[in-house]
Structures are given as structure tokens and as C-alpha cells.
Amino acid sequence: MPSPTATRSFIRSASRYLTEPHPFNRMPTTVKPHPWRAMDLAKHVGRGAIIFPGFVGVVLWPLAAKEALDGTM
């Protein structure tokens, strides 16, 4: 088998240098799967349930004020 030319070996080494392995890659036979973290999910959902109505109040208070103070006192 003939050896690769200098150009082909350079291109091959450059492509291997530029190929980045995926940072989250794990071998399923050697690494146990991560446990399902329900508490993190519960914290995020709970935070959203508290913060979302506050944002709605901040954004929509002018419409509520317009309806409440419609000029008839």
C-alpha cells in the first residue's frame, strides 16, 4: 500500500484537528445513565408558577387601570 502524499496527510491531520468531539458524548456501555432529577424540574416549574403571574401583572396593569379608571368617578 503506497504511503499518502504530503498534501493528503496534511488534509487528514487538519480535518482530525478541526473535528471536535461532542462534550456530552458518553458511551452507554461504560457509563451509567444520569438519574432523573425531579427536584430540579419541580424547582423550575415552581419558580415559573410564581414569576409568570408577576410578569403578567407588570405588563398588563395599564389595561386593568384603564378599565378601572374609565373616567367615571
Give the start-to-end residue ranges of the domains of the chain.
36-73
| pLDDT for the residue numbered 42 | 92
Give pLDDT < 70 ranges for the chain.
1-2, 21-29, 31, 71-73
Contact present, 4 and 12 (Cβ < 8 Å): yes
Nearby residues of 12 by Cβ (< 8 Å), 6 or more positions away: 4
| pLDDT for the residue numbered 73 | 59
Which pTM does this prediction carry?
0.40
